[in-house]
Amino acid sequence: MRIGSSLGSRSLLFSRLVCNKAKFRPVNVIIASMAEAHISSSSAGAPAADYKPRYADIGINLADPIFRGRYHGKPRHPDDLQDVVSRAVEVGCTKLIVTGSSFKSSRDALKLAQEFPGTVYTTAGIHPCSSSIFSPSHHKHHDESQSEDEGEAEHTPACDPDPTKPIPDGEGVDHARSERIVADLAALIAQARSSSAPPGGGLVAFGEFGLDYDRLHYCSREVQLHSFSVQLALAASLDPPLPLFLHSRAAHDDFVRLLREGLGPRLEKLRGKGGVVHSFTGTVEEMRELMDPAGLGLYIGVNGCSLKTKENCDVVREIPLDRLMLETDGPWCEVRPSHEGWKYLVEWEKQEKERKGKLAAAAAAATAAATDGAAAAVADGAAAADGAATAGNEDANQEGQEKKQQKQKQQKQQQQQQQPSKKKNQKKEPEVPERYKTVKKEKWEQGAMVKGRNEPCTIERVAKIVAAIKGVSVEEVCEAAWKNTVKVFGLDEIQE
């Protein structure tokens, strides 16, 4: 018997074995379906493979000129705000609430809501660190700048405290100026809410406002207390009310007292709107008092500043998912390797890598099993058709075996060539994979993130850390935070 005709008859017979009269199923389809089924059965209990996270960054300072390439009043690289927003959307962060922390940043945020309708929303208010405008010694018009320092005037206040230079109490408040400030803020909010493009101007919350005793070098305690009080009165007068975007740092007792005095023990004057205390760094007891559904009933926002220490992470572990919101507070508050939360991120990435490795191994095993089954079918079919193997077949098998060994040798050589040569100074694989390339601002390039400039796309790291700390899936964290954010800020009610 000729080898060619023998092989041809085997192929014909195998085709008959794997096909039926109704429908032809090629071998590669059979293998693929078997592998797919094996992966599904092996990944029970694991996160859904097709789950696409959805994030809402409740606190991102996109109005800061850093996102336009300006640092301390000087241009350092091209405006890349569009890239920043695009990267956020790519990771599933499709809702960005841009913080208004002064008149200037609030107006700039409202412009961004027009530029990115349906993605960017805003708040409007006066941050405690911007509240020096209520002081008699503040010489600029409140609508012009939040700072007396020209070099820092453009930027939102940095997160780090400076306890060595507190502004002392005793100067008092300029009450005539205070009335103008509150009237102008009310007018700004009214103008935004009257807009139809986007609806309500994209304004979804009153704030950022509150108290910050860690950063008294920006504004004295007495001026902060006045700023918070008069803004609470304004918030109570709005019709309809807006949810609150609140700031409390090392000032819990005064913060809670003024909230209750201004809005009622259960924030009754907000008529159910509620709010969030963002960038939370307080204690478990403070958090519980803020969240108490029989009391203030507030939500808690978590970002990199909420994950710095072991104590911070212990607090995050206790936040119920139905009171959690996620944020980045960029360009500040990034998660750093020195933070306690970083350890959880490293562990999460390690486990995720192992999980994917097991799925890949299961897929490979399923493919191998399917291939062996197909080979066995060929052999059985050949035996049924031809009977015992002939000498010619033995020669063909030997020739096929030699070709197979040669092919395996070539594949091994190709793999060795593709592997990078190991060098003494070769960089180690990072503990946490970088989704995007990061460069210094002096070496800016299109599509890269800027080192030290936190972006909304990094919210996925916050979610992973929270999930690892709480021992739940990222999907659970994302879905809970998304639903809480949409509910509080009424994002589902805004029709673009």
pLDDT of residue 40: 39
What is the C-alpha to C-alpha distance for residues 203 and 326, in angstroms, rounded to an integer? 19
pLDDT band at 14 (very low <50, low <70, confident <90, very high): very low
- 373 within some domain: no
What is the C-alpha to C-alpha distance for residues 31 and 18, in angstroms, rounded to an integer? 12
- 97 within some domain: yes
pLDDT of residue 412: 74
- 279 within some domain: yes
* Contact call for residues 114 and 170 (beta carbons, < 8 A): no
pLDDT of residue 38: 37
The residues that bridge with 57 in the sheet, in sequence order, are 96
Nearest to 109 by CA among 121, 118, 93, 92: 121
Count of residues in the chain: 496
pLDDT digits (tens, 9 = 90+) for 299-341: 999 999 999 999 999 999 999 999 999 999 999 999 999 999 9
What is the domain extent for residue 84?
Answer: 55-347+462-493
Whether the per-residue pLDDT at 270 is higher than 80: the answer is yes
pLDDT digits (tens, 9 = 90+) for 59-70: 999 999 999 999
For the whole model, what pTM was predicted?
Answer: 0.80
- 191 within some domain: yes
What is the C-alpha to C-alpha distance for residues 276 and 245, in angstroms, rounded to an integer? 5
- 367 within some domain: no
Ranking 44-53, 75-84, 374-383 by mean pLDDT, the lowest is 44-53
pLDDT digits (tens, 9 = 90+) for 101-142: 999 999 999 999 999 999 999 999 999 999 999 999 887 888
- 447 within some domain: no
Q: What is the CATH number of the domain that holds 148?
A: 3.20.20.140
pLDDT of residue 154: 62
- 453 within some domain: no
What is the domain count for the chain? 1
pLDDT digits (tens, 9 = 90+) for 442-468: 999 999 999 999 999 999 999 999 999
Across the chain, mean pLDDT equals 85
70-71 and 74-75 beta bridge pairing: antiparallel
- 364 within some domain: no
